Structure 1
């Protein structure tokens, strides 16, 4: 019976991955092992499920019908297992999480590492990246995202709070170039810009009515890493637009000074996102609950700002 189920899982992985090679990588198997599993499955069923060439593969008519039933059957099995899992006292198994780099290091990782201490049978696997990750495609249990979410019927989300962003610079930079007191004075300064794929992101600064308006400031340096931008600001390369959860530590140490405090922006929402399933595994549930309990206090502006 187990061999039959393994063949089904392999078949679904091949269809969803789009190739034997990709399915083999996902399942940590050789391409040959995946190919043999599909051949055994087709032999047992007495039908061909996939048209295969050296470069492409397509489902046969029988393959389409079998795939649809396999997906429903596996979803039902997962639902039953998750229901049992939820009733367990101690979460266990591998929890695969993807988080933004700087936010992940400073805010998310400490929370998840706390769970590792609390639940010895829980295995925490964290990927730090600012690129967009596809939960379903990459087999992730949970991701943390900053910014508005796309509508999706296959994903669920929980709001963890909203990060505030402020302008800051080093004491040396301000001593040389002066401290701006009005938005109009930013034209006399240089910024360290955040860029992604060659595009520089504007700063959303509130106007007189409090509505955020995009402004662009002359920049000599642009980076796609918020931690590197903070380091460049400390080194005196210009003004930086930084989230309060990162800025606070540098203000406390005296490395950076906030400017234009009244223009603090509540800029982006923070979410925990996971695949939308009927029954959530205990390992994922405890991680979401811990993030919801601890992240809001981490990202709220402190008294030093």
Structure 2
């Protein structure tokens, strides 16, 4: 009897990847092996699933129908396996996690490294990137995101804490340029800004009265990495707005000091995000629980 699942996962991956080459890369197979798997599947079914050319591929009418049913069938199998996985005493398997670079380095990695020691069968694959990661498209089990979440019907999320942003500078910079006593004083200073795709994030400060006020400051340098911004501030290039947990680390060594203590530039929410499933696998669940337990203390919330 033929294995009815033979080639199904490969077919779904080819459709979702958009090309045989990318599907082969994700499946760790050769392009030829992927092509042969699809051919065998079409031969067994007696229909053509894909229109193929040298530059593109499109689903046939039969292929579209079959793809939709395959996705549902594979999801049911995943849920069935997950229901067994939940009952396991020890989580195991490969856990792919995507995290922001600086926050991931200082806050998430220590938690997951401890988790790996606690569960020897758990394999942690940690990716550090500030770009938006498509969890489903890229096969990621769990991500940590900072800021407002996009609306999604395919992702689930859990709040991990609130990251407060403060203004800080090197003692040498303040000795040379003076310590600002009010937001108005910042107009006489140089700021090191955070930017993404050439867009500089504004410095909108919230004072003791909880009202938000715009900050006027000359920006000479902008970067898309908060660790680089912290290094530039330590070297005396200006005032920087940085996460409180990062400032605290450098404040302990005397490299940075916060200014305008009663003001915060802004706050950002931190979330764990994962693909929505009926039964969450144990490996993902223990990681989320560990992050929820330890992140608030790490960031001072």
TM band (smaller chain)? over 0.9
Alignment-derived partner of residue 167 in structure 2: 167
State whether residues 202 and 216 of structure 1, in contact with CA within 8 Å, keep that contact through their aligned partners in structure 2: no
Q: How does 1:239-254 map to 2 (within 5 A)?
A: 239-254=239-254
Indicate conservation of the 8 Å contact 2:204/2:266, yes or no: no
Structure 2, unpaired ranges of 5+: none
Following superposition, the deviation at residue 198 of structure 1 comes to 1.2
- 2:236 counterpart of 1:236: yes
Which residue of structure 2 lines up, in the alignment, with residue 118 of structure 1? 118
Q: What are structure 1's unaligned runs of at least 5 residues?
A: none
CA contact (8 A) 2:147 2:269 kept: yes
Aligned pairs (5 A) from 1:10-89: 10-89=10-89
**Cα offsets for 1:67-122 (capped at 9, x unmatched):** 11111110000000000000000000000000000100000000000110000000
**Could you tell me how far apart the structure 1 residues matched to 2:95 and 2:267 are?**
29
- Cα deviation for residue 208 of structure 1 reads 6.8
CA deviations 1:257-305 (Å, max 9, x no partner) are 110000025510000000000100100000000000000001116xxxx
Aligned partners of 1:89 and 1:212: how far apart in 2? 49
Equivalence for 1:150: 150
> Aligned equivalents of 1:191 and 1:116: distance in 2?
40
What's the CA shift for 1:166? Answer: 0.8
TM-aligned CA distance change 1:231 to 1:126, over 3 Å? same
- 203-212 or 220-229, which moves further after superposition? 203-212
Alignment match, 1:103: 103
Q: 1:162 Cα deviation (Å)?
A: 0.3
**Tell me, what secondary structure is at the counterpart of 2:184?**
helix
Per the TM alignment, residue 64 of structure 1 is displaced from its structure 2 partner at its CA by 1.0
Structure 1 residue 215 displacement after superposition: 2.9
The two structures, once aligned, show a CA RMSD in angstroms of: 1.4
Paired residues for 1:123-202 under 5 Å: 123-202=123-202
TM-score of the superposition, structure 2-length normalised?
A: 0.97
Partner Cα distance (1:97, 1:242) in 2: 24
Paired positions, count: 301
C-alpha distance in 1, partners of 2:98/2:214? 29
Distance 1:240 1:280 in 2: 40
Q: Does the aligned pair in 1 maintain the 2:95–2:283 contact within 8 Å?
A: yes
CA distance in 2, matches of 1:19, 1:183: 54
TM-score in terms of structure 1 length = 0.96
